[in-house]
Amino acid sequence: MHVVRNRDYMFAGCVYCGCDYCFNAIGVRGGGVSVLECGECNESFIVLADGRTQSTMGFGVKEGHVTTRFNFIEEGIPELVKQTCYDDDGYWYPTVGEHPRRDIAKHEYVKPDIRPDDGIGEFWTPRGVGHDGHSPNISGFVKSKQAGERILEMFQNARNKNNQFKDESTELTENTWLDYRKREPDWIQFKVSSDDADVNRLYELTKDTSIITQDIIDEVCK
């Protein structure tokens, strides 16, 4: 497994593909040590804080699972562990190496834009009707930022059709929106306000298929 300096990771990203989106792979970090998994290629590697030359986190395997331990601070790593990278229980304390892509700037992660096989509508997994403090709403997970943008366009199309002959605004409220956060590109939601649609009916029409279409939106949009 590659072990690299934080400054190299911050510039070059994943050691395998250069993606800028990597997350904590094992749920444990500390002592200037992080084990990251790439969101694009799904490979894992270790990042050490700048200035560290050896991991203070030991890695072992117990009953088929990776385990970790913190026995040392960097200044207190025993000479034997420094020389062999292993302690008496067989835990591995890796030393830092060179980032294989350290001269190539990282690239932005873009979540794959997956659509239903028949090309009709978008995947949208509703989470149920809730309340955001303003009005009842419903949110659902979408496959990509592009999918969320297309859903927003479908809602706007429905609003335009419903209100074209009414003396009312055709603009959606600010509470129907795409919740995309660059730091969480795998956690993309589209949120719909009860000010713009019948959210209970929307949930009933999508809860079993996790697909939302223009026809469904036309039916529930106000």
Q: Where do the DSSP E strands lie in 39-135? A: 44-48, 57-62, 65-70, 122-131
Measured distance CA(114)–CA(121) in Å, rounded = 11
Give the whole-number percent of the chain exceeding pLDDT 70.
94
**Is residue 112 assigned to a domain?**
no
**Is residue 104 assigned to a domain?**
no
pTM for this prediction: 0.73
Q: Which domain holds residue 135?
A: 122-220
**Is residue 94 assigned to a domain?**
no
Please give the tally of structural domains in the chain. Answer: 2
Residue 173: name the closest of 139, 197, 147, 145 by CA.
Answer: 197
Q: What is the pLDDT of residue 44?
A: 93
Shared domain for 56 and 146, answered yes or no, is no
Q: What is the pLDDT of residue 133?
A: 72
**Is residue 169 assigned to a domain?**
yes
**Is residue 91 assigned to a domain?**
no
Q: Which residue has the higher pLDDT, 183 or 193?
A: 193
CB atoms near residue 112 (< 10 Å): 8
**Is residue 182 assigned to a domain?**
yes
DSSP letter for 74, please: G
Q: What is the pLDDT of residue 167?
A: 59
CB atoms near residue 222 (< 10 Å): 13
* Averaged pLDDT for residues 102-131: 94
Measured distance CA(15)–CA(7) in Å, rounded = 12
- pLDDT digits over 194-220, tens only? 999 999 999 999 999 999 999 999 999
Q: What is the pLDDT of residue 30?
A: 77
- pLDDT digits over 43-92, tens only? 999 999 999 999 988 888 777 777 888 766 666 778 878 888 998 888 99
